[in-house]
Structure formats: C-alpha cells, structure tokens
Structure 1
C-alpha cells in the first residue's frame, strides 16, 4: 500500500457503537485498507476512519455503510481521494472520546 499520508481517506459516521464496529469489520474485510481509528463525537455519533488506495477505500466504505445500515443508522459516508497534508493533524490516531484517548 502507498504511504498512508498519500492515500485516500474514508469515513463512516454512525449513530451507535455497534453499527460503527460492524462498519469497521466490514471495511477491513472488504478491501485492503488500514483502520486508522474512531472518534466518539457525542450524542451517540461514532466515526470510523480508514486509509488506502482510492478504489479500496471506496469499496470498503460502500461495504461498511451497507453492513452498518442493517444494524443501526448510518449518518454519513465520505471518501477524500487525496487529502491535504494538513488534514493529518485532525485525524484520529486510535479510539478517542471527545478528542481524548478513551
């Protein structure tokens, strides 16, 4: 896989942890992507972030969203093909709750 800083960024936001875990599991099983981390925003919102080649990230987010929607609510799905380097500063580096390590 290409350098993670040069790879696509895929995000799925769900309402509830169970759907987020299902999305993460489906994404890493569906394509060659790296699970970057999760962000617990509050109000039950959980965002799961993956990196990889554009095609793999697109396939992973499609599979993750479909799988998570069977268990709960998928709020948003987005793929950024080539995120700017400064975006790295705000990406989760593991499981966090409200911006702090869980």
Structure 2
C-alpha cells in the first residue's frame, strides 16, 4: 500500500508539474517555436484544471481514505484518460504513455483506498 501511495504522490506531482509548464511555457508542451495567443490561453486553461486536480489527487488518499478519496482519484484518472486521448489524436506518444501510466496509478490507488 505504501508503494502505491508513493507512486500516486509521484503521479500527482508530475501532473501538477506538467500543468504548470503548460501555463508558464506552453511552447514546451506544444513543441512550437513561439507560442501563439491561443496556445497561451489553452496553456493557462490546462493549468487551472490540472493544478487543483493534481493537488486533490495528491491529498485525497491520505486525507479522505474511502469513497470520497476514491471519487477524487477517479476524477483525476478521467482527466488523464482525456489527456491520453488528445495524445492519440495528435500522435504524441510520450503524452499517451505518460497519461496512461498516471491513469493506471490513480485507478489502482482509488481501488486500494476505497
């Protein structure tokens, strides 16, 4: 169980980190030279979703073990499924792999703490 909680912590911190990078340096994630106004806008939209959800996924299994924590982790997993789907649509294999791994970790933690 401690290993799973540790993996969930790493997954949540990684999600928070990528969300912050998306907000502050959107070109780093989109691989474009100079970000457009639209990239900056959507980068901040991603950050405003990703940071609070990542913090909730980080805290939930420790603060609210049981159904409430599992619900929060399931929401975080659903967001990662969406990110993986975007990766598939854009053929960004690292995004697919990373989001899929985070999905699996959040789902496993949700099941273990339910």
Give the TM bin, normalised by the shorter chain: 0.3 to 0.5
Higher strand share: 1
| TM-score, normalised with respect to structure 1 | 0.35
After TM superposition, the score normalised by the length of structure 2 is 0.32
Q: Which of the pair has the greater relative contact order for Cα pairs under 8 Å at 6+ separation?
A: 1
